[in-house]
Structures are given as structure tokens and as C-alpha cells.
Amino acid sequence: MSTITAHPNPIVVDNTISPPETTGTTTVKYKKEPEEELWEMQPGSGWAKVNVHTLTGLGDEADYSGKYSITLTPGQIYSAGLFFPLNSPVSTDPLGTKVIVAAVLKKPTVRKLIADHSGSGGGTRLSHGIKTFKPTMLFLAAASRFRAVPDSTGIPQLVDPDAVIPAPLGPAVSHDVELKPLVPGHHYFFTAMVVDAGGNWEVLEVEQDTLKRKMTVQFPKMVVFNDGDWATTGEAEFWFDVSAGDDTRPGQSLQLFTLPEPDLDDWGETGRPYSLGYAYIENQPLTVAAGRTSIWVHSWAREDDGPWGDDTAGSAINKGKRLNLPDGPSEKVANSSFTMDVPASSGDLHYAVDVTFAVDYLP
């Protein structure tokens, strides 16, 4: 994975000593693929492709990794990024990994930059607007369940943030940010830092709770396409599970429903519907555990064929399907439905399950 970082960032120019510093330096480090190009934006200039061998003083090694120094005066901004040729920052589809460095004064000569602030939120997001007395860059904005720790200068050091703006915004006198996805029902610290053209800076910290989540997941119906018995009707046991997990896999089962061995008839493999009526219902809004924000549904079945061996569909090991839970302003879901196919894992048993879910966010 390609990376590009700068340390320190921001650069702190010490104006408290005699004589005061007028510049500061940071070290930029990168790791990349040989095909990737390094581009930079010097203060007051546009994007330009850089020769990494000239920049780092290295030979072939520079095509893979390297480091170099950048010196800035207070208020200056430097940007650098790694891009494939077709996705450079001057292309119509700029995609790459970037770092943006700012230089600030150790002791601001202008203490008050923020004129006004407003904020709102939901279960998965925090939205904030910041207005400043003069044009500023929003250098940092993040939401974390842990308070940021100020360094010796007072610049906040984030602790395990759940959401961070991907790049600084501005310069402008008004900054609007939306931070997502966040975990429902948790206490958050919103941290922002603005910087003006002279290197003055101010930090804003706001505490805010996300709304709790209340949801319902239903299995109203299934359709049997193959009952597992070619000559007669079948008898199978079915399981329907609702689990909480992360984006990649389920973790904790919230509720498991069992349908014990009904007589099955696939109507000549044309698909016979069966009513189920199972529902996982949260009667009150709940705080969601971090790492368990995703909801998964899963079904599997076993048709007993005696000495000929069981027909099975799905699998108790298979992770199932993750519900599409939106975040941001459209996070609430009044009603959404889809059909989950459950193919045979051994034998011929095959069916599909209708899934319906609703999500609300409340205090």
C-alpha cells in the first residue's frame, strides 16, 4: 500500500525565542509502486510532477521509497501526493494518496480567529459549520470517542478518531464539514483547527452525543425452488439468523429463529412460497458497540435423507449478507427489502428468503 507522510505536521515556527525563527522544516517520507509518480504543490504554485531521484538524491531505490525535507514560512501550505499516470492531480480523475503540510506560529499573534460555530448530528454523523473573522484554512477536523491530547504547543493530537476530513479546506471564511461514519449512541469529541495566512491558529473542541439506533429485521417469507427430494416432498429444518459485526463479517448473533422440519413441496421445482413471520425487533434505541455497527442476515437448512445423506443449503460457517445501512443525512430507513438466495451446499436443496428492515435513530 502506498503511503506518504510528513513529520512534523504542522511545522511549528518558534517566534518566542530571540531572534525568532522565520521558517520551519518537515521531513516527507513515501513508499510507492515504481509506476506511481510523485507530484507536489509548492506554496503559491500549481501541481507539478517531481523527479524523485533529483528530489531524494537516491538511485533506483527512489522509485520505491524515499524521504526529503521541505521548509516553509508561517502560513504557507505544501502538498504532495502519489498518483498513477492516468490519475494525476491535473487529470479529470485525480486519485492518489496525499499529504498536506502547514506551517504555524508557536505563539499566535492573533488569538481569535473563530467568529461563530454551529453543529448538529445524527446516529452516524456529526455536521459542523465554522465561521472565521478572516480567510482561514480548516487544517484539521475530526470526531473521536476519545479527547484529543494537546502537545506542548497546544496543537491537538488525535486519539483513535472514527472520522477525519480527508484534506484541509479553504482558504475561506466559512467551513462546513460532515464527519461519518460514526458509532450510534456514543459520546464524541469534535476537534477542529483553523490556520490563517500568517500562521496564526485556533482550536475548537465540542462534545456531542450521537443518537442511538433502533432497528427491525424481518423474514416474512421464503420460496423453495428445490425441496431436495426429486420423487416426493421433502422435510427440512431451517435457521434464520440476525447478527452484528463489522463490514467484513458477522460477529455476535442477536437472534436465531428455527423452523423445525416442515413438509416441503417445491411445486415441481417452480418455486413454492412459505410464510415465515420471524422478526428481530429492538423495542428501544440502543447504544451500538464499536466494531458491531454492521448487521448481517444469514440462513441455512438441512433436509434429512436418511441413509442417502442430508441435503443442505447455505452454511453455518458462511457469513451471510450484510444489510445496506446508509450513513450521513440519509441514515434513517423507513422500509427496505431484498431477497437473499440460499443455494445448495450439498445435494439439491435450494431456497430464497425475503428480508425487510427498518432503521431509526433516537436520543
The DSSP result for 308-343, as a single string, is G--EEES-SSS--EE-----GGG--EEEEEEEEEE-
What average pLDDT does range 345-352 have in this prediction? 83
Q: Do domains 114-209 and 212-362 have the same CATH topology?
A: yes
Top-tier CATH class for 114-209: mainly beta
Residue 296 has pLDDT above 90, yes or no: yes
Average pLDDT over residues 38-46: 95
**Mean per-residue pLDDT for 315-325?**
79
Q: Say whether 166 sits in a helix, a strand or coil.
A: coil
Question: Percent of the chain, pLDDT > 90?
Answer: 79
Reply yes or no on whether the pLDDT at 347 is more than 80.
no
Q: 109-161, pLDDT tens digit by residue? A: 998 999 999 999 999 999 999 999 999 999 999 999 999 999 999 999 999 99
CATH number of 3-105: 2.60.40
- Quick one: DSSP state of residue 10? S
Instruction: pLDDT band for 344, please (50, 70, 90 cuts).
Output: confident
Supply the pLDDT for residue 215: 97
pLDDT of 360 higher than 80: yes
> Is the torsion defined by CA of 193, 196, 202, 207 positive or negative?
negative
Q: How far is CA 237 from CA 248, 270, 319, in A?
A: 28, 20, 19
Q: How confident is the model at residue 154, as a pLDDT?
A: 95
Helix (H, G, I), strand (E, B) or coil at 85: helix
**pLDDT of the residue at 91:** 93
140: amino acid identity, one letter: L
54-80 mean pLDDT: 97
Cα–Cα distance for residue pair 323/344, rounded to 1 Å: 22
Write the pLDDT tens digit of every residue in 197-244. Answer: 999 999 999 999 999 999 999 999 999 888 666 655 567 789 999 999
- Count CB neighbours of 330 within 10 A: 9
Write the DSSP assignment of 22-68 as a string of letters.
--EEEEEEEE--TT-EEEEE-TTS-EEEE-HHHHH--SGGGGTEEEE
In our burial notation (b when 16+ CB lie closer than 10 A, e otherwise), range 240-277 reads bbbbbbeeeebeeebeebebeeeebebeeeeebeeebe
pLDDT at position 237 is: 86
Region 274-296 average pLDDT: 96
> Looking at residue 225, what is its pLDDT?
86
**CATH code matching the domain that covers 212-362, chosen among 3.40.720.10, 2.60.40.150, 2.40.10.10, 3.20.20.80:** 2.60.40.150
Q: What per-residue confidence (pLDDT) applies to 308?
A: 54
Domain boundaries, the chain: 3-105, 114-209, 212-362
pLDDT for res 310: 59
Element (H, E) at 193: strand 187-196
